[in-house]
Protein backbone atom coordinates (compact mmCIF):
# COMPACT_ATOMS: atom_id res chain seq x y z
CA UNK A 1 0.00 0.00 0.00
CA UNK A 2 2.79 2.40 0.87
CA UNK A 3 4.74 1.56 -2.29
CA UNK A 4 1.61 2.10 -4.38
CA UNK A 5 0.90 5.44 -2.69
CA UNK A 6 4.47 6.66 -3.30
CA UNK A 7 4.41 5.50 -6.91
CA UNK A 8 1.12 7.29 -7.56
CA UNK A 9 2.09 10.48 -5.73
CA UNK A 10 5.39 10.91 -7.58
CA UNK A 11 4.51 9.37 -10.94
CA UNK A 12 7.24 6.76 -10.61
CA UNK A 13 7.65 3.60 -12.65
CA UNK A 14 6.34 0.47 -10.92
CA UNK A 15 9.81 -0.83 -10.05
CA UNK A 16 11.22 2.31 -8.41
CA UNK A 17 10.14 1.32 -4.88
CA UNK A 18 11.79 -1.81 -3.51
CA UNK A 19 9.95 -3.65 -0.74
CA UNK A 20 12.31 -5.16 1.83
CA UNK A 21 10.61 -7.76 4.03
CA UNK A 22 11.98 -7.84 7.59
CA UNK A 23 10.99 -10.56 10.03
CA UNK A 24 10.64 -9.20 13.56
CA UNK A 25 10.84 -10.83 16.96
CA UNK A 26 7.12 -10.19 17.30
CA UNK A 27 6.54 -12.29 14.18
CA UNK A 28 8.74 -15.14 15.35
CA UNK A 29 7.74 -15.51 19.02
CA UNK A 30 4.09 -16.52 19.08
CA UNK A 31 3.65 -18.52 22.28
CA UNK A 32 3.79 -15.71 24.86
CA UNK A 33 2.07 -12.34 25.38
CA UNK A 34 4.03 -9.39 23.97
CA UNK A 35 4.07 -7.73 27.39
CA UNK A 36 6.14 -10.63 28.76
CA UNK A 37 8.82 -10.60 26.06
CA UNK A 38 9.57 -6.96 25.38
CA UNK A 39 6.36 -5.20 24.42
CA UNK A 40 5.78 -3.22 21.26
CA UNK A 41 9.51 -2.84 20.52
CA UNK A 42 9.36 -6.44 19.29
CA UNK A 43 7.60 -5.14 16.18
CA UNK A 44 9.82 -2.11 15.59
CA UNK A 45 13.40 -2.66 16.71
CA UNK A 46 14.50 -4.61 13.64
CA UNK A 47 13.00 -2.02 11.28
CA UNK A 48 14.56 0.81 13.30
CA UNK A 49 17.96 -0.91 13.08
CA UNK A 50 17.59 -1.33 9.32
CA UNK A 51 16.74 2.36 9.00
CA UNK A 52 19.63 3.57 11.10
CA UNK A 53 22.21 1.46 9.27
CA UNK A 54 20.88 2.49 5.85
CA UNK A 55 19.48 -0.84 4.65
CA UNK A 56 16.06 0.78 4.14
CA UNK A 57 14.89 4.37 3.61
CA UNK A 58 11.57 4.06 5.40
CA UNK A 59 9.78 1.61 7.68
CA UNK A 60 6.09 0.72 7.43
CA UNK A 61 4.23 -0.09 10.65
CA UNK A 62 0.82 -0.84 12.04
CA UNK A 63 0.63 2.21 14.30
CA UNK A 64 -1.09 0.21 17.02
CA UNK A 65 2.24 -1.61 17.44
CA UNK A 66 4.54 1.44 17.64
CA UNK A 67 5.83 2.65 21.01
CA UNK A 68 4.76 6.14 22.07
CA UNK A 69 8.43 7.09 22.56
CA UNK A 70 10.33 6.58 19.31
CA UNK A 71 13.97 5.55 19.26
CA UNK A 72 16.49 8.38 18.91
CA UNK A 73 17.15 9.13 15.24
CA UNK A 74 13.75 7.83 14.07
CA UNK A 75 10.99 10.17 12.86
CA UNK A 76 7.34 9.34 12.28
CA UNK A 77 6.79 11.08 8.96
CA UNK A 78 3.53 10.02 7.33
CA UNK A 79 0.38 7.97 7.68
CA UNK A 80 -1.89 6.42 5.09
CA UNK A 81 -5.66 7.08 5.26
CA UNK A 82 -7.06 5.24 8.27
CA UNK A 83 -9.03 2.05 7.74
CA UNK A 84 -11.95 0.72 9.80
CA UNK A 85 -11.07 1.18 13.48
CA UNK A 86 -13.62 -1.34 14.77
CA UNK A 87 -13.22 -4.90 16.01
CA UNK A 88 -14.74 -7.98 14.43
CA UNK A 89 -15.89 -10.83 16.62
CA UNK A 90 -15.18 -14.27 15.15
CA UNK A 91 -17.32 -17.09 16.48
CA UNK A 92 -20.54 -15.35 17.52
CA UNK A 93 -23.01 -12.76 16.24
CA UNK A 94 -22.26 -10.40 19.14
CA UNK A 95 -20.59 -10.24 22.54
CA UNK A 96 -23.99 -10.69 24.15
CA UNK A 97 -24.60 -13.82 22.06
CA UNK A 98 -21.48 -15.62 23.32
CA UNK A 99 -22.44 -18.71 25.35
CA UNK A 100 -22.11 -18.58 29.13
CA UNK A 101 -18.48 -19.26 30.05
CA UNK A 102 -17.29 -19.06 26.45
CA UNK A 103 -13.54 -19.27 25.86
CA UNK A 104 -12.33 -16.15 24.03
CA UNK A 105 -8.77 -16.03 22.73
CA UNK A 106 -6.79 -12.81 22.85
CA UNK A 107 -3.38 -11.55 23.98
CA UNK A 108 -4.60 -7.95 24.25
CA UNK A 109 -5.03 -6.64 27.83
CA UNK A 110 -7.48 -4.05 26.46
CA UNK A 111 -9.69 -6.60 24.71
CA UNK A 112 -9.60 -8.92 27.71
CA UNK A 113 -10.60 -6.11 30.10
CA UNK A 114 -13.37 -4.84 27.85
CA UNK A 115 -14.80 -8.32 27.37
CA UNK A 116 -14.73 -9.17 31.06
CA UNK A 117 -16.17 -5.79 31.95
CA UNK A 118 -19.22 -6.68 29.84
CA UNK A 119 -19.23 -10.43 30.45
CA UNK A 120 -17.42 -11.50 33.67
CA UNK A 121 -18.38 -15.10 32.90
CA UNK A 122 -16.15 -15.26 29.83
CA UNK A 123 -12.90 -17.24 30.03
CA UNK A 124 -10.02 -15.35 28.42
CA UNK A 125 -7.28 -17.51 26.89
CA UNK A 126 -3.94 -16.27 25.55
CA UNK A 127 -3.94 -16.30 21.75
CA UNK A 128 -1.35 -14.84 19.39
CA UNK A 129 -0.47 -15.50 15.78
CA UNK A 130 -1.52 -14.31 12.36
CA UNK A 131 -5.12 -14.06 11.17
CA UNK A 132 -5.17 -17.59 9.75
CA UNK A 133 -3.84 -19.06 13.00
CA UNK A 134 -6.46 -17.28 15.09
CA UNK A 135 -9.32 -18.18 12.78
CA UNK A 136 -8.20 -21.83 12.76
CA UNK A 137 -8.36 -21.93 16.57
CA UNK A 138 -12.03 -20.94 16.41
CA UNK A 139 -12.82 -23.30 13.54
CA UNK A 140 -11.19 -26.23 15.36
CA UNK A 141 -13.09 -25.55 18.57
CA UNK A 142 -9.93 -24.89 20.58
CA UNK A 143 -11.58 -21.60 21.55
CA UNK A 144 -15.13 -20.36 21.08
CA UNK A 145 -14.35 -16.90 19.74
CA UNK A 146 -11.72 -14.25 19.17
CA UNK A 147 -11.53 -10.59 18.23
CA UNK A 148 -9.61 -9.28 15.22
CA UNK A 149 -9.13 -5.74 13.92
CA UNK A 150 -11.50 -5.05 11.05
CA UNK A 151 -8.73 -3.11 9.29
CA UNK A 152 -6.46 -6.13 9.06
CA UNK A 153 -9.22 -8.39 7.77
CA UNK A 154 -10.29 -5.80 5.20
CA UNK A 155 -6.73 -5.39 3.94
CA UNK A 156 -6.47 -9.16 3.54
CA UNK A 157 -9.81 -9.29 1.73
CA UNK A 158 -11.36 -11.53 4.41
CA UNK A 159 -15.07 -10.91 4.99
CA UNK A 160 -15.72 -12.77 8.23
CA UNK A 161 -17.01 -12.00 11.69
CA UNK A 162 -19.47 -9.60 13.26
CA UNK A 163 -18.56 -5.92 13.52
CA UNK A 164 -18.47 -4.62 17.09
CA UNK A 165 -19.53 -0.93 17.21
CA UNK A 166 -17.09 1.52 18.80
CA UNK A 167 -19.89 2.46 21.21
CA UNK A 168 -19.62 -1.08 22.58
CA UNK A 169 -15.86 -1.58 22.34
CA UNK A 170 -13.51 1.35 21.93
CA UNK A 171 -10.41 0.46 19.86
CA UNK A 172 -6.76 0.61 20.77
CA UNK A 173 -4.91 3.85 20.24
CA UNK A 174 -3.98 4.18 16.54
CA UNK A 175 -5.93 1.06 15.49
CA UNK A 176 -6.43 0.89 11.73
CA UNK A 177 -3.60 3.32 10.90
CA UNK A 178 -0.45 2.57 8.90
CA UNK A 179 2.52 4.80 9.71
CA UNK A 180 5.80 5.36 7.92
CA UNK A 181 9.06 6.14 9.70
CA UNK A 182 12.35 7.47 8.34
CA UNK A 183 15.71 8.64 9.63
CA UNK A 184 15.39 11.99 11.37
CA UNK A 185 17.17 14.59 9.25
CA UNK A 186 17.07 12.53 6.04
CA UNK A 187 15.66 15.44 4.02
CA UNK A 188 15.22 13.61 0.67
CA UNK A 189 13.28 10.75 2.30
CA UNK A 190 11.20 13.09 4.44
CA UNK A 191 10.18 15.14 1.40
CA UNK A 192 9.22 12.06 -0.59
CA UNK A 193 7.16 10.61 2.27
CA UNK A 194 5.38 13.81 3.26
CA UNK A 195 3.63 13.71 -0.12
CA UNK A 196 1.60 10.68 1.00
CA UNK A 197 0.75 11.85 4.52
CA UNK A 198 -2.98 11.84 5.32
CA UNK A 199 -3.32 14.83 7.61
CA UNK A 200 -6.55 13.87 9.41
CA UNK A 201 -5.28 10.36 10.17
CA UNK A 202 -1.94 11.71 11.35
CA UNK A 203 -3.65 14.27 13.55
CA UNK A 204 -6.05 11.76 15.11
CA UNK A 205 -3.34 9.22 15.81
CA UNK A 206 -1.06 11.87 17.32
CA UNK A 207 -3.81 12.80 19.81
CA UNK A 208 -4.49 9.15 20.71
CA UNK A 209 -0.78 8.45 21.20
CA UNK A 210 -0.50 11.61 23.30
CA UNK A 211 -3.29 10.32 25.57
CA UNK A 212 -1.44 7.02 25.96
CA UNK A 213 1.86 8.80 26.65
CA UNK A 214 0.25 11.04 29.28
CA UNK A 215 -1.06 7.95 31.07
CA UNK A 216 2.34 6.29 31.00
CA UNK A 217 0.67 3.20 29.58
CA UNK A 218 2.60 0.07 28.68
CA UNK A 219 1.70 -3.22 27.00
CA UNK A 220 0.33 -4.31 30.39
CA UNK A 221 -2.03 -1.31 30.63
CA UNK A 222 -5.56 -1.76 29.24
CA UNK A 223 -6.23 1.49 27.35
CA UNK A 224 -8.64 2.43 24.57
CA UNK A 225 -8.76 5.71 22.64
CA UNK A 226 -10.38 7.14 19.54
CA UNK A 227 -10.07 10.62 18.04
CA UNK A 228 -12.27 11.70 15.14
CA UNK A 229 -11.07 14.77 13.24
CA UNK A 230 -13.68 16.80 11.37
CA UNK A 231 -12.25 19.96 9.89
CA UNK A 232 -10.88 22.01 12.77
CA UNK A 233 -12.68 19.99 15.45
CA UNK A 234 -11.72 16.80 17.29
CA UNK A 235 -14.09 14.46 19.13
CA UNK A 236 -12.21 12.18 21.51
CA UNK A 237 -13.09 9.25 23.75
CA UNK A 238 -10.72 7.43 26.06
CA UNK A 239 -10.88 4.59 28.59
CA UNK A 240 -8.59 2.98 31.13
CA UNK A 241 -9.45 -0.35 32.73
CA UNK A 242 -8.51 -2.82 35.40
CA UNK A 243 -7.08 -5.98 33.87
CA UNK A 244 -10.20 -7.99 34.73
CA UNK A 245 -12.62 -5.26 33.62
CA UNK A 246 -13.90 -4.74 37.16
CA UNK A 247 -13.13 -1.01 36.99
CA UNK A 248 -13.42 1.14 33.87
CA UNK A 249 -12.88 4.89 33.80
CA UNK A 250 -14.02 6.66 30.65
CA UNK A 251 -14.19 10.23 29.43
CA UNK A 252 -14.59 12.32 26.30
CA UNK A 253 -14.28 15.82 24.93
CA UNK A 254 -14.81 17.88 21.80
CA UNK A 255 -12.22 20.55 21.13
CA UNK A 256 -10.51 22.61 18.48
CA UNK A 257 -7.76 20.65 16.78
CA UNK A 258 -5.11 23.02 18.13
CA UNK A 259 -6.23 22.35 21.72
CA UNK A 260 -6.89 18.61 21.46
CA UNK A 261 -3.44 17.45 22.51
CA UNK A 262 -3.59 19.37 25.78
CA UNK A 263 -7.17 18.22 26.34
CA UNK A 264 -6.17 14.58 25.86
CA UNK A 265 -3.39 14.93 28.43
CA UNK A 266 -5.82 16.60 30.85
CA UNK A 267 -8.35 13.79 30.36
CA UNK A 268 -5.64 11.22 31.08
CA UNK A 269 -4.85 12.98 34.36
CA UNK A 270 -8.55 13.23 35.24
CA UNK A 271 -9.19 9.53 34.65
CA UNK A 272 -6.19 8.55 36.76
CA UNK A 273 -7.43 10.89 39.47
CA UNK A 274 -10.79 9.11 39.51
CA UNK A 275 -9.23 5.65 39.63
CA UNK A 276 -8.59 3.29 42.50
CA UNK A 277 -4.97 2.77 43.63
CA UNK A 278 -5.00 -0.64 41.95
CA UNK A 279 -5.99 0.82 38.59
CA UNK A 280 -3.53 3.73 38.87
CA UNK A 281 -0.77 1.21 39.56
CA UNK A 282 -1.12 -0.08 35.98
CA UNK A 283 0.08 3.30 34.71
CA UNK A 284 3.13 5.50 35.20
CA UNK A 285 2.41 9.08 34.13
CA UNK A 286 5.81 10.21 35.44
Cα–Cα distance, 144 to 61 (Å, whole number):
30
3-state secondary structure of 61: strand
The string of DSSP codes covering 98-135 is: SPTT-EEE---HHHHHHHHHH-TTPEEE---S-HHHHH
Q: What is the DSSP letter of 36?
A: G
Laid out side by side, the sheet with 248-256 consists of 223-230, 233-241, 248-256
Q: What is the DSSP letter of 231?
A: T
How many residues in the chain?
286
Cα–Cα distance, 5 to 79 (Å, whole number):
11
The alpha carbon of residue 231 and the mean position of all alpha carbons in its chain are separated, in whole angstroms, by 23
Phi, psi of 155 (to 5 degrees): -65, -25
Cα–Cα distance, 136 to 143 (Å, whole number):
9
**Non-local CB neighbours of 253 within 8 Å, separated by 6+ positions:** 235, 236, 260, 263, 264, 267
CB-based contact 91:148 (threshold 8 Å): no
Q: Has 65 been annotated as catalytic?
A: yes
Q: List, as own/partner pairs, every contact residues 259-263 make where C-beta atoms lie below 8 angstroms and the sequence separation is at least 24, other chains included.
A: 260/207, 260/227, 260/234, 260/236, 261/206, 261/207, 261/210, 263/236
In the set 65, 84, 144, 186, the catalytic residue is 65
Which residues are catalytically annotated?
65
Amino acid sequence: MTAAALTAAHGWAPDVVEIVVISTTGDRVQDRPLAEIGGKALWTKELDAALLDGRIDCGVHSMKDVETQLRDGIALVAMLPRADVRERLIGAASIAALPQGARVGTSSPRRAAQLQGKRPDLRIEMLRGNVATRMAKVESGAIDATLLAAAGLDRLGIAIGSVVPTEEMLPASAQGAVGITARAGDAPALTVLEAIDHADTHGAVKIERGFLAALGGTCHSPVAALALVTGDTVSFRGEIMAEDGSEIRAGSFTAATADAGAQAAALAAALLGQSSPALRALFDPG
